[in-house]
Amino acid sequence: MLRLNLGSGNMPLPKPWKNIDKYYFPGECELHPDHGKPKDYDWEKGDFRDLSMFKDGSIEKVNMCHSLEHVSLEDARKTLGEVYRVLKPKGQVEIEVPDLEMAFVFDFETMTNLIFGGIDSNTYHLGHFCGFTPQTLMAEMADAGFKIIDKADVGFGTSKPEPDRNFRLRGTK
């Protein structure tokens, strides 16, 4: 049973999840204080846009929590296609991202964080390069081939529950 947590950051999911991130990797960063020691997790340093090391239909479940917005829209589309390819029949992906519709109801700093990922020197490295509303992400997931797409509770995995700022969708192959 193989599960992927793509773009895990410093907040990995425990085994049987395989955590993949190109910036955060044991020995190169500190884990979030709530997440134990690196040895407790299955890690692989890599870019979630490239899933070529996984066979078609070999993955049971994929989690992407606050990672898809960190690539271009073109790369997000390619990633969704790759996630669909590696999932087993009836496999599921859960994707949580900031709700772009909500960005405009907040103060300037919060709006800037939601749209661009921050206002400091780390923004370029960790910034947001695309954005989604629930409707646009549903459409992108459907274009990638997902047949059943529904809302899921915000906060699974590496997220803090912020349903006023984020949304999570579940897609089934």
**pLDDT tens, position by position, for the chain (173 residues)?**
899 999 988 778 888 999 999 877 666 566 666 666 667 788 888 999 999 999 999 999 999 998 999 888 999 999 999 999 999 999 999 999 988 887 666 666 766 666 666 555 555 556 677 889 999 999 999 999 999 999 998 876 555 656 678 899 999 99
Domain of 58 in residue numbering reads as 3-100+130-172
CATH number at residue 34: 3.40.50.150
Q: Report the DSSP beta bridge partners of residue 97.
A: 167
The reply to whether 105 falls in a domain is no
Cα separation, 41 vs 127, in Å, equals: 26
Overall pTM surpassing 0.95 (yes/no): no
The reply to whether 120 falls in a domain is no
Q: Report the DSSP beta bridge partners of residue 95.
A: 64, 169
Render the burial of 95-114: b for 16+ CB within 10 Å, e for the rest: bbbbbbebbeeeeeeeebbb
Number of compact structural domains in the chain: 1
The reply to whether 28 falls in a domain is yes
Phi–psi pair at 157, nearest 5 degrees: 75, -115
Cα separation, 32 vs 20, in Å, equals: 16
The reply to whether 71 falls in a domain is yes
